[in-house]
Structure 1
Amino acid sequence: MSTMVKRVDDQGRIEPPVGAGEWETLSSFLDYFRDTLEWKTDGLTDDQLRQNLEPSSMTLGGMLKHMALVEKEWFGQFLSGEPYGEPWESADWGADPDWDWNSATEDSGGDLRRLWKESVVQSQRLALAAYENGGLDGEATKQPMEGEVLRLRWIMVHMIEEYARHCGHADLIRESIDGQTGD
């Protein structure tokens, strides 16, 4: 039996193992991208988290809040049937469909990081429980589309895609703030 070597990069991120099974591969890639977003927002002041790169209004603070919501939605709401909780349930989504992005300018960096981290920890717990209960083929509690079955595997891949896309955005925004580059 071979043992997989854990490789840690210069930013402290654990690189996804090459010879792993499907669950470990998916969860490792998702955690890697979560770590990348954390790295891209680390050490920035509240004002820096509010900076955007024209012409986009996207900010790193807004990205943290958005990804906290995305974690809550896919792992909490769809996979596990849990309520969103605050601050999501009292938000006026009708007045601002991009409330998660836009309201982040009113939040401190500490609050944004805490909200995102709590969502990630909850998502990791819910995903692992779902995997242990039904594997990657396990069905989500809430089905978003009639006639289709949402499974844990799809949620994991979708979350990797969501983080990968936003980490690309984060690269550009971070470089515009302080010149920091890197994947």
Structure 2
Amino acid sequence: MEQTIDPTLGPVLTRTGDERAVLASFLDFHRAVLLRKLRGLSDTDAGRHLVPSATTIAGLVKHLTLVERNWFPTLLAPRPGDVYVTSDEDAVASFTLDDKDTVAGLAEAYERACARSRAVAESFDLDHVVPHPQLGEVSLRWILVHLIEETARHVGHADILRELTDGETGAV
């Protein structure tokens, strides 16, 4: 019996693609898994503290929404008034939920941020370099790899939290 690979997995579909397609598909895969971890939860369960830290599934989505905005539009294509978040305090605060944060609202904000990130990234070559307030200069290629790492790391956190919430595990 021949073993097949689930064709819905973007990284599998781009296994012979060019560098940009591979990077984008891995980032989009992890973005989608994060949303799968959030969806189907009540607002209460998504905001539940299940580990000693203040980390919650909803908080992870809120944080990664800031990360998307920070690294793509704010750094690569800033609009008037955009400020790149550099402080640890602001990064930690981005995990904090308020009464207005709902599963639906957080998912929608994250999807919008990801769509904007995709549009910004598509308008530059991978070798495009921009100044970074802490690192000196970074290329779009480096930003994509960093976002894959950051998103995947937090998706792992979300996977553990979702398992503790209702037993759901896995990427798909």
TM-score, with normalisation over the residues of structure 1? 0.79
Q: Displacement of 1:171 after TM fit?
A: 0.8
Equivalent residue in structure 2 for 1:119, among 113, 124, 127 = 113
| 2:90 is the alignment partner of 1:102 | no
* Structure that is richer in strand per residue: 2
Q: Displacement of 1:112 after TM fit?
A: 1.0
The CA distance in 2 between the partners of 1:26 and 1:97, in whole Å, is 24
Q: Displacement of 1:42 after TM fit?
A: 1.1
Coordinate RMSD, CA, aligned = 2.6
The CA distance in 1 between the partners of 2:154 and 2:65, in whole Å, is 13
1:129 paired residue number: 123
Does the Cα contact within 8 Å between 1:65 and 1:104 map onto a contact in 2?
no
Does the Cα contact within 8 Å between 2:23 and 2:144 map onto a contact in 1?
yes
* Identical pairs, percent: 34
| 2:19 is the alignment partner of 1:25 | no
**Which consecutive unaligned segments of at least 5 residues does structure 1 have?**
none
What whole-Å deviation, never above 9, does each CA across 1:91-131 have from its counterpart, x for those lacking one? xx89876221113565111211111111111101101112x
Task: Write out the 4+ residue segments of structure 1 that deviate beyond 4 Å after TM superposition.
Answer: 93-97
Does the Cα contact within 8 Å between 2:34 and 2:158 map onto a contact in 1?
yes
2:168 paired residue number: 180
Aligned length: 164
Q: Say if 1:78 and 1:110 are closer, same or farther in 2 by CA, change over 3 A.
A: same
Does the Cα contact within 8 Å between 2:39 and 2:103 map onto a contact in 1?
no
Does the Cα contact within 8 Å between 2:47 and 2:97 map onto a contact in 1?
no
TM-score, with normalisation over the residues of structure 2? 0.84
| 2:10 is the alignment partner of 1:14 | yes
